[in-house]
A and B are shown apart, each in its own frame.
Chain A
Amino acid sequence: MARYLVGRLVYSVLVVLGVVVIVFAIMRLTGDPAALLLPLGFTQDDLQRVRHEMDLDQPVPVQLARYLRRAMGGNFGQSLRYHDSAIRLVLERAPATLWLTAGAMAVMGLVAVPLGVLAASRRDSPLDAAASAVALTGQAMPTFWFGIILILIFGLRLGWLPTSGSGTIWHLVMPSITLGAFSAGLTTRLVRSSLLEVLSQQYVRTARSKGLAERVVIVKHALRNAAIPVVTIVGLQLGTLLGGAIVTETVFGYPGMARLAVEAVFYRDFPVVQAFVVITAVVMVSINLLVDVCYVILDPRITYT
Chain B
Amino acid sequence: MRQPPRHRTRLRLRSFRRSWKALTGSAILLLIVLAVVFAPRLAPYGPLEQHIVDRLRPPVFAGGSSQYLLGTDPVGRDVLSRIIFGSRVSVAVGLSAVLIGGSLGLTLGMLSGYYGAAADMIIMRIADLQLAIPFLVLAIAVITVLKPGLLSIVLVLGLSSWVTYARVARAQVLTVRKRDFVEAARALGGSESRVLLRHLLPNVIAPVIVVATLEIGRMILAEAALSYLGLGIQPPAPTWGGITADGRDYLGTAWWISTLPGVAILLTVVAINFVGDWLRDVLDPTVTL
Hey, which bits of chain A sit against chain B, CB under 8 A? 15-16, 18-19, 22-23, 26-27, 29-30, 36, 124, 136-137, 139-146, 148-149, 151-152, 156, 193, 236, 239-240, 242-244, 246-247, 250, 261-262, 264-266, 268-270, 273-274, 276-277, 280-281, 284-285
Docked-complex contact B128 and A15, CB < 8 angstroms: yes
Please report the C-alpha to C-alpha distance between residue A250 and residue B251 in the assembled complex, in whole angstroms. 15
**Which one, B33-41, B132-140, B183-191, is touching chain A?**
B132-140
Please report the C-alpha to C-alpha distance between residue A193 and residue B111 in the assembled complex, in whole angstroms. 31
Hey, which bits of chain B sit against chain A, CB under 8 A? 10, 13-14, 125, 128-129, 131-138, 140-146, 217, 221, 224-225, 228-231, 240-241, 244, 251-252, 255, 258-259, 261-262, 265-266, 269-270, 273, 288
Write 28 A-B pairs (CB below 8 A) sorted by A numbering. Answer: A18-B125, A36-B145, A124-B10, A137-B270, A140-B265, A140-B269, A141-B262, A141-B266, A142-B244, A142-B262, A142-B265, A144-B241, A146-B262, A148-B244, A148-B259, A156-B251, A156-B252, A239-B134, A243-B135, A243-B136, A247-B136, A247-B229, A261-B137, A265-B143, A269-B144, A273-B140, A281-B133, A284-B132
Give the distance to chain A from B141, nearest Cβ to Cβ, in Å. 5
Docked-complex contact A280 and B144, CB < 8 angstroms: no
Docked-complex contact A273 and B141, CB < 8 angstroms: yes
In the complex, chain A residues whose CB is within 8 Å of the CB of B269: 139-141
Give the distance to chain B from A280, nearest Cβ to Cβ, in Å. 5
Known: A140-B266, A144-B228. A239 touches B143 (CB 8 A): no
- Interface SS of chain A: helix, strand, loop or mixed? helix
In the complex, chain A residues whose CB is within 8 Å of the CB of B146: 29-30
Residue among A145, A274, A277 having the largest count of chain B Cβ atoms under 10 Å: A145
Known: A142-B224, A145-B265. A280 touches B129 (CB 8 A): no
Chain A residue, CB-CB nearest to B217: A140
Please report the C-alpha to C-alpha distance between residue A297 and residue B221 in the assembled complex, in whole angstroms. 36
CB-based A-B contact count at 8 angstroms = 144
Docked-complex contact B255 and A270, CB < 8 angstroms: no
Docked-complex contact A239 and B131, CB < 8 angstroms: yes
Known: A36-B145, A264-B144, A277-B138. A145 touches B133 (CB 8 A): no
Chain B residue, CB-CB nearest to A280: B137
Docked-complex contact A15 and B132, CB < 8 angstroms: yes
Chain A residue, CB-CB nearest to B136: A243
Docked-complex contact B141 and A23, CB < 8 angstroms: yes
In the complex, chain A residues whose CB is within 8 Å of the CB of B265: 140-142, 145
Give the distance to chain B from A22, nearest Cβ to Cβ, in Å. 7
In the complex, chain A residues whose CB is within 8 Å of the CB of B258: 145, 148
Give the distance to chain A from B6, nearest Cβ to Cβ, in Å. 11
Docked-complex contact A270 and B273, CB < 8 angstroms: no
Docked-complex contact B225 and A262, CB < 8 angstroms: no
Known: A148-B244, A152-B251, A270-B145. A280 touches B133 (CB 8 A): yes
In the complex, chain A residues whose CB is within 8 Å of the CB of B128: 15
Please report the C-alpha to C-alpha distance between residue A38 and residue B227 in the assembled complex, in whole angstroms. 26
Please report the C-alpha to C-alpha distance between residue A228 and residue B129 in the assembled complex, in whole angstroms. 24
Give the distance to chain B from A142, nearest Cβ to Cβ, in Å. 5
